[in-house]
Amino acid sequence: MEPSRDDFVIALRSAFLKKGTQQRFSLLSLIFFSIVFLILGSFNFKIINYVKIGIKEVVYRSSFIVSMPENLLKDSYITIQNYKKLYKENEKIKSELEILKAKDLLNEFIISENQRLKNIVDDHLMEISHVIRGEEWLPSAPLHVMLYEAFGWECPLFAHLPLLLRPDGNGKLSKRDGDRLGFPVFPTNWTTAEGELYSGYREKGYHPAAFINMLALLGWNPGTPQEIFSLEGLVETFSLERVSKSGAKFDPDKTTWFQQQYLRSQTDEALAKELKEKIPALTETNEALIQICGLMKERATFIQDVYTDGHYLFERPTEFDSESIKKRWKSETSNLIHAWKETLNQLSDFDAITIENAFKTFLEQKEVGVGAVLLPFRLSVTGVGAGPGMFDIAAFLGKAEIVERMETALLTIQKMVNEA
Q: Which of 29-43, 137-151, 173-187, 295-309 has the lowest mean pLDDT?
A: 29-43
**CB 37 within 8 Å of CB 52:** yes
Mean residue pLDDT of the chain comes to 84
What does pTM read for this prediction?
Answer: 0.65
Burial class of residue 325, CB neighbours in 10 A (0-12, 13-18, 19+) = buried
**Alpha-carbon distance values, 249 to 164, 171, 218, 305, 385 (Å):** 6, 9, 8, 28, 36
**Alpha-carbon distance values, 312 to 288, 316, 322, 374 (Å):** 13, 6, 16, 17
Q: What is the pLDDT of residue 1?
A: 45
**What is the spatial distance between Cα 73 and Cα 205, in angstroms, rounded to a whole number?**
82
146-170 tens-digit pLDDT = 889 988 999 999 999 888 898 888 8
59-97 tens-digit pLDDT = 666 666 766 776 777 777 788 888 888 888 888 888 877
The average pLDDT across 29-54 equals: 65
Torsion of CA 93, 94, 100, 105, to 10 degrees: 170
The number of angstroms, rounded, from the C-alpha of 140 to the middle of its chain's C-alpha atoms is 29
**What is the spatial distance between Cα 73 and Cα 27, in angstroms, rounded to a whole number?**
27
**What is the spatial distance between Cα 387 and Cα 295, in angstroms, rounded to a whole number?**
9
Between CA 256 and CA 260, with CA 259 as vertex, the angle to 5 degrees is 90
Task: For 6-58, give the DSSP string.
Answer: HHHHHHHHHHHTS-HHHHHHHHHHHHHHHHHHHHHHTS--HHHHHHHHHHHHH
The average pLDDT across 49-54 equals: 68
**What is the spatial distance between Cα 11 and Cα 177, in angstroms, rounded to a whole number?**
86
Map out the domains of the chain with their CATH numbers.
Answer: 5-88 (no CATH), 162-264 (1.10.1160.10), 266-313 (no CATH), 322-419 (1.10.10.350)
346-388 tens-digit pLDDT = 999 999 999 999 999 999 999 999 999 999 999 999 999 999 9
Report the residue count for the chain.
420
